Structure 1
Amino acid sequence: MIGVSVKNFSVAFGNTKILENINFDVKQGEIVTILGPSGCGKSTILRSIASLHEDYDGDIFINDHCLINNGKKECHKDIGYIFQDYALFPHLNVKQNIEFALYNLKSNQKQKRVDKLLKQFDLVEHRNKQIHELSGGQQQRVSIARVLAYEPKVLLLDEPFSNLDTILRNKTKIWLKKLIKELNLSAILVTHDQKEALSMSDRIAIINNKRVEQFGTPQELYTKPKSLYVANFLNKINVLPNLLLESLNIKISSENVGIIPIGKVEVSNAISTIKAAILDVSFCGDYYELNISLKEYENMEMTVQVKSMQALENKKECYLNLNNEDIKIVRKNI
């Protein structure tokens, strides 16, 4: 069953179009990520679904119920919104913050629901603490518990991990993804972090130039990008010179380009037909990144990855080997 459906959605601020003809849907138990650069309108989509932004064209359906009825926009009770800064009340303790969402329940029902959430979110020992006494991860759990207290069917997440350090961010992503699946929620995540989108999502909508450039599973977008923009946004790639493609018996039209992930380029000191000059070497932990120049192709620069520099140490030149199967042909623009 589809929990959220966005149809022909467009937004303009004054005479400036921000988003145009956006279409996607989210099934129950599914996490759909809206991915794009800062300022492309990702959060505006969430705010419109939550009825916090009302000046848009098109239709938004929540469980087959349109948010616009008889010309009037309505706030749907089945929507939960988790903000980037958690939006907790600093003058209330943990228990009171969660209770705030349950004002319409009787006292005994409220207490039962709060106790369940405190246990579920591992917050029992923190129930009487003030918000400033909690870590960032604990504050986030309180924020999510408060939203889920009134049992929404749709969960909107606006950059929810941006204030967490790397280790806590990874743990929280795993925990939250499992929770969304267990509760069978329709979740929409907004982020500009590619790795976050790939690891969290069932499907991803990539926004570019006011529109959805491509919508599909993480595997589809990563392995079969439709455009240079999508490929470049989800992976580190090199655009290959046409002359080099021709030498590999790959022919392309003027509308397309040939690309290869930086980790798919084999680099060695063994002589081959593709000679390169090493311009710079960067140590990146378990691999090295080399900035190289292809002398025979107008000194075009590329970035490549190698696991070891042992064979290339103190070398100013290297040779490349490219596997045709690793080269993808994509459109320059859609």
Structure 2
Amino acid sequence: MVNVNNLSIKFNDTQILEDINFSVQNGEIVTLLGQSGCGKTTILRTIAGLQREHDGNICIGEVCVSSKEVYKQDREVGYIFQDYALFPHLDVEENISFALDKLSRKDRNKRVDELLEQFDIIPHRKKQIHQLSGGQQQRVAIARAMANKPKILLLDEPFANLDSQLRYKTKMWLKNLIKKYNLSAILVTHDKKEALSISDKIGIIHDKKLLQFDTTKAIYTKPINYYVANFLAEINILPIEIIKDFDIALSEEQIAIIEISKCKISNESSLFEVEIIDKSFCGEYYEVLIKIKSDKENKLIMIKSSLEQINLENKFYLNIKKEDIQIILK
């Protein structure tokens, strides 16, 4: 449904994005993931037609809607802003109907009634925006974005203003909504857990480039380089001492990594006796910084452990499996 081809954007002499390419199919949720300021929102704005100056083109279906040769306003896009962008001087139903100005009053009222019911906000139809909770405000924003029955839904940090419990419920509700109506959805976030749990595909943006674009599972299990791996998971870079003992060959461009969750310490003897450098209580577990005693690099390794089964008065060791080690580019 959406194809972004060779998209590059420059503000004055500052290059913001360079040669971005990806596509989104019907019923698919694609998340653009990256640090704040990397250009994620700029991509959404460009797809929506709010950012006109760019190179490359954007196609919706078979129609090119944005390039130097053609620029079409009617894009069948619904945009949900991070701060919801609701009008404080209008009540709920007025906010929703604002997007339906091309319909007759009768058709507009009918569509508003449908949306109020669909998004379970009928009791709030006459309330002012400041009278609503964060979750209710978000539902009004989504209802307004869906009012004209868009084929594409653009979501800019849609859960940022919700508490953790409400965020989870809203995320699942929104995911089901997108699948039910077979929309193409592009979501922007810097929250990796959010991206992994809701997305069909993920694109990692860094240093103006789209570093990797793939299915959620593929990009998590086979990251293209250290930046992608470290952005999506909690990992350790293994010291040379471990690499040598496991007989792992590395080129100058490669490093060996392992997920923190796959690093354990115990009193059971292994090749790698360790010492604790620091530990921090985190509720259900301790974050423990260790180093291998024989490691001359003094490279620190992070683990998460309850420490309940470990006698810290005795020797203790790092236990990892060779099959859990990944070799990736730096």
TM category (shorter chain) comes to: over 0.9
Q: Which amino acid aligns with 2:279?
A: V
Tell me which amino acid in the other structure corresponds to 1:123.
Answer: I
Task: Indicate conservation of the 8 Å contact 1:278/1:318, yes or no.
Answer: no
Q: What is the aligned partner in structure 2 of residue 158 from structure 1? A: 156
Normalised by the length of structure 2, the TM-score is 0.96
The aligned counterpart of 1:200 is: 198
Q: Partners of 2:30 and 2:178 in 1: how far apart?
A: 12
Listed as ranges, the matches of 1:193-272 within 5 Å are 193-272=191-270
| Cα displacement string for residues 18-69 of structure 1 (whole angstroms, at most 9, x for unaligned residues) | 1111100000110000001111111110011111111110010112211236
Secondary structure at the counterpart of residue 197 of structure 2: helix
8 Å contact kept, 1:20–1:211: yes
Residue pairs, 1:1-334, within 5 angstroms: 3-68=1-66, 71-298=69-296, 299-306=298-305, 308-312=306-310, 314-315=312-313, 318-332=316-330
Do the aligned partners of residues 142 and 259 (structure 1) sit closer, same or farther apart at CA in structure 2, a change above 3 Å counting?
same
Q: Is the 8 A contact 2:55 2:68 kept in 1?
A: no
SS in 2 for 1:33: strand
Counterparts of 2:314 and 2:172, CA distance in 1: 44
SS at match of 2:109: helix
Quote how far apart the aligned CAs of 1:318 are: 2.5
Per the normalisation by structure 1, the TM-score is: 0.95
Task: Judge which range, 255-264 or 65-74, deviates more.
Answer: 65-74
Are the equivalent residues in 2 in contact too, given 1:50–1:76 (CA < 8 A)? no
Is the Cα–Cα contact under 8 Å of residues 56 and 67 in structure 2 kept in the other structure?
no
Query: Any gaps of 5 or more consecutive residues in structure 1?
Result: none
What is the CA-CA distance between 1:297 and the residue it aligns to? Answer: 1.4
Instruction: Give the Cα–Cα distance (whole angstroms) in 2 for the partners of residues 250 and 46 of structure 1.
Output: 43
Relative to structure 1, is the Cα distance of residues 166 and 52 closer, same or farther in structure 2, using a 3 angstrom cutoff? same
Quote how far apart the aligned CAs of 1:271 are: 2.2
Gaps of 5+ in 2: none
Residue 186 of structure 1: CA displacement? 0.5
What value does the CA root-mean-square deviation take over the aligned residues?
1.4
CA distance in 1, matches of 2:107, 2:73: 25
Misfit runs of 4+, over 4 Å: 313-317
How many residues are treated as equivalent by the alignment?
329
In the aligned structure 1, how far is the partner of 2:137 from the partner of 2:108? 21
C-alpha distance after superposition, 1:61-96 (max 9, x if no partner):
112211236734222340111000000011111011
Q: For residue 140 of structure 1, give the secondary structure of its aligned residue in structure 2.
A: helix
Change (3 A) 1:266 1:314: closer
CA distance in structure 2 between the aligned counterparts of 1:313 and 1:92, rounded to whole angstroms? 64
